[in-house]
């Protein structure tokens, strides 16, 4: 199992004893995901929070007309789930798919609750993680309301440098809330600016 990356991620916020580390690792399930495979499907129960070891995942919302809106990308060293579904044990609002062959470590809701009880410092870890996610989404909402598409695209490149070259233009456009054609114009203008 790929443990070093997840332990390094956790050590940013809490320190674990050897016994706590062993217990935590015993709760994780390794899952390999094929490209285009969905690990969370809209309206189904989302039973895990996923830590990305390798690959890239995308959470997206599909509206009644079939239009996709990308909510987030998750690359190596990121966590991803449908948080509403996972925490409240409700049907998923999102789909989460692998954009390339990926490896994740999964922690179930039952095991997370167990972890909070047996190693309370994990409450601090996940509180910090969720606070950071909330702040990130709030800033993104404000950006979407206040910044032109060009600036949102540049911010995307800064936020997701590892993903920018590995996802399709359509997926980036759906994250930015613009059409792929408009994104193409932004990229063309950016290249012209870089060469002038």
> Per-residue pLDDT tens for 61-100?
999 998 999 999 999 999 999 999 999 989 999 999 999 9
- Per-residue pLDDT band for 113 (boundaries 50, 70, 90) equals very high
> Per-residue pLDDT tens for 161-176?
888 888 999 999 999 9
Question: What is the model's pLDDT at position 1?
Answer: 56
For residue 2, pLDDT beyond 80: no
Burial (0-12, 13-18, 19+ Cβ within 10 Å), 142: exposed
For residue 107, what are the β-bridge partners?
49
More reliable by pLDDT, 128 or 193: 128
Contacts 24+ apart (CB under 8 A), 128-134: 128/13, 129/13, 129/79, 130/83, 133/83
> Which CATH architecture group holds 3-146?
Sandwich (2.60)
- Per-residue pLDDT band for 159 (boundaries 50, 70, 90) equals confident
For residue 32, what are the β-bridge partners?
103
> Per-residue pLDDT tens for 3-38?
899 999 999 999 999 999 999 999 999 999 999 999
> Per-residue pLDDT tens for 47-60?
999 999 999 999 99
Find out whether 124 and 15 touch, Cβ atoms under 8 Å.
no
Find out whether 92 and 43 touch, Cβ atoms under 8 Å.
yes
Burial (0-12, 13-18, 19+ Cβ within 10 Å), 23: middle
Domain ranges of the chain: 3-146, 148-196
Question: What is the model's pLDDT at position 36?
Answer: 96
For residue 195, pLDDT beyond 90: no
For residue 95, what are the β-bridge partners?
60
Question: What is the model's pLDDT at position 194?
Answer: 63
For the record, the structure tokens of 38 come out as 């969905």
Burial (0-12, 13-18, 19+ Cβ within 10 Å), 4: exposed
């Amino acid at each position: 199992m790929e443990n070093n990356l997840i332990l390094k991620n956790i050590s940013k916020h809490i320190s674990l004893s050897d016994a706590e580390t062993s217990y935590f690792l015993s709760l994780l399930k390794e899952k390999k995901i094929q490209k285009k495979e969905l690990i969370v499907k809209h309206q189904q129960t989302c039973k895990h929070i996923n830590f990305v070891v390798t690959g890239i995942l995308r959470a997206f919302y599909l509206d009644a007309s079939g239009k996709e809106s990308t909510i987030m990308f998750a690359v190596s060293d990121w966590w991803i789930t449908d948080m509403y579904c996972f925490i409240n044990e409700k049907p998923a609002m999102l789909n989460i798919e692998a954009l390339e062959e990926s490896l994740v470590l999964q922690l179930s809701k039952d095991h997370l609750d167990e972890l909070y009880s047996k190693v309370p410092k994990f409450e601090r870890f996940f509180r910090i993680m969720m606070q950071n996610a909330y702040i990130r989404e709030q800033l993104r909402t404000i950006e979407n309301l206040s910044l032109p598409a060009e600036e949102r695209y540049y911010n995307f490149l800064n936020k997701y440098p590892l993903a920018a070259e590995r996802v399709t233009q359509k997926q980036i456009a759906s994250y930015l809330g613009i059409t792929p054609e408009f994104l193409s114009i932004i990229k063309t203008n950016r290249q012209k600016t870089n060469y002038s």
